[in-house]
Amino acid sequence: MSKERIKISPDLYDIMPSDYQDLVQSATYGKEDRGWKDIGTSKELIEQHSLCAGCPESMAFRYILASLPNPEDTVMVGSTGCTSLVFPMVAVHNIHSLFGNQNAIASGLKRALSVRFPDRVKDVVVLAGDGATVDIGLDMTLQAWFRQEKFTTICFDNELYANTGGQESGLMQKGFVAKMAPVGKLFDKVRLPEIARESGCHYVVNCTVSKPSLVEKVIRNSVLIAREIGPTYIQLYTPCILEIGKNSMEGLQEMRDSEKPTERFAYKEYVSEPAKQLLAELAAKDKERKAAAKQLAGKA
């Protein structure tokens, strides 16, 4: 799909909702260098959200949608949770079906799109919370990786079940007192990034969303590697400020505190050998393209 496809008939233009008009006029579909810096100057692919004020998940959503390399041909798969409050307002096709089955849905979807569009790129990106990814959906998360399904899995890790009111989750820290963990969680935070690596993911990153440029790089890499090589996994700390007793303006600081070198969200990255090669090739091509553009600009 392209911007051409979403063009409005002139006769109907004035009756279309303004957010759709904006989408046609100033969305970044098809823009090769799209990224987080487009936020605020072009039409974002997330219209509004009904998350809590200051929720870091809303920042993460904006950065991810701004960073998708190919939104005009990307389908996203969500799951039940806070993310399902946002997806209805996202301007890429997205699927919510059940709780925890997101990687199974994405497996079928990616295969169907490959059968139907063998000569075109159709990216599939899963975005779900930690309960969906690690607890109820762990089987399907891992099995999709074992099968080397070519899509990206993004986990919004807020270390609890936020949408149901703050219950214990597998990604919660040990000792944290929460609903359903009345004496504190008794076992360690599940080490899914390591499990992802061992399960066959070609690109694994564990970080926060405090730095938009970093999120942009990670999301772009993860989608491009998944497209060409195999599964990728991104675990992003999006703290639930409500459930950890923080104020609306404190989310960013909470992420900064948690990404210090000794903390649990210190930046960690794994890249498989084939993925390293692909990234090197892409970087070389990018350099070439930029040099050519510079040359062209110089001539002009």
Residues of this chain that interact with another protein (CB under 8 A) are 1, 5-6, 17, 19-20, 47-48, 50, 72-75, 77, 80, 84-95, 97-98, 101, 104-117, 122, 139-140, 143, 147, 163
* Least CB distance to another protein at residue 268 (A): 27
* Least CB distance to another protein at residue 27 (A): 10
* Least CB distance to another protein at residue 273 (A): 26
Q: Are 251 and 172 contacting, i.e. CB atoms less than 8 angstroms apart?
A: no
Tell me whether residue 19 or residue 286 sits nearer to another protein (CB atom): 19
Pairing outcome for strands 268-271 and 232-237 = unpaired
Bridge partners (DSSP) listed for residue 178? 181
Tell me whether residue 108 or residue 274 sits nearer to another protein (CB atom): 108
Amino acid at 194: E
Pairing outcome for strands 123-129 and 152-157 = parallel
Tell me whether residue 59 or residue 144 sits nearer to another protein (CB atom): 144
Distance, CA of 38 to CA of 35 (rounded, Å): 6
Amino acid at 134: V
- What residues contact residue 59 under an 8 Å CB cut-off, 6+ apart? 209, 212, 238, 251, 252
Q: The tokens of 1 are what?
A: 């799909």
Tell me whether residue 105 or residue 271 sits nearer to another protein (CB atom): 105
* Least CB distance to another protein at residue 4 (A): 11
Tell me whether residue 111 or residue 290 sits nearer to another protein (CB atom): 111
* Least CB distance to another protein at residue 147 (A): 7
